[in-house]
Amino acid sequence: MRLLYTATLVCLVLIASGCVQQGEKEATISTTLAKPVGETDIKSFRKTNDDICTTDGKPVIRLYSTTGCPHCVWIKETYDSVAKEYADAGKIVAHHWELDTNDDTLTEEAERSIPAEEFVFYQKYNPSGGVPTFVFGCRYIRVGNAYERANNLTAERQEFRNAIEALLRESGGRL
């Protein structure tokens, strides 16, 4: 019950505050939780020391957004298309949770609630509650859009691909 109350409160705060743009909340991610990725092709995500989270042996990527956030609207189609491409190929499991509608936009059905465990991931990797929040395999995280100021969806698309490919390399068939 307490988790449901907390999740509802988070949604209300998000709806009231709108969203964040890159940089506004990104610095609030704990440095003990996340560190720079290092020498990779991934520039805008932070790497955690967490194990890769999976479903049915596949890395799970997540986007948390709201419909009233202009930054979320800007990235929605780009994230969804890359996520669907990899999910349809059977390489990953992907979700795009709209926190104000309680819907996973990557499924055909209209969900009426977000599973409690999804709020756990959201709160763990972004305790400040900003959107858009990206959680790729519990290994790569980002709050905000990296290339929105330059209006560069191509760079965003490539960054998503790089993070997914890194997850797939890191899992190395061990999952």
Using 50, 70 and 90 to split pLDDT, how confident is the model at 41? confident
Mean pLDDT of 22-46: 52
pLDDT (tens digit per residue) in 78-116? 999 999 999 999 999 999 999 999 999 999 999 999 999
Using 50, 70 and 90 to split pLDDT, how confident is the model at 17? very low
What is the value of pTM for the model shown? 0.79
> Distances in Å between the alpha carbon of 58 and those of 21, 39, 128?
30, 24, 28
**Cis? peptide before 132, omega within 30° of 0:** yes
Domain 2-171 has CATH 3.40.30.10: yes
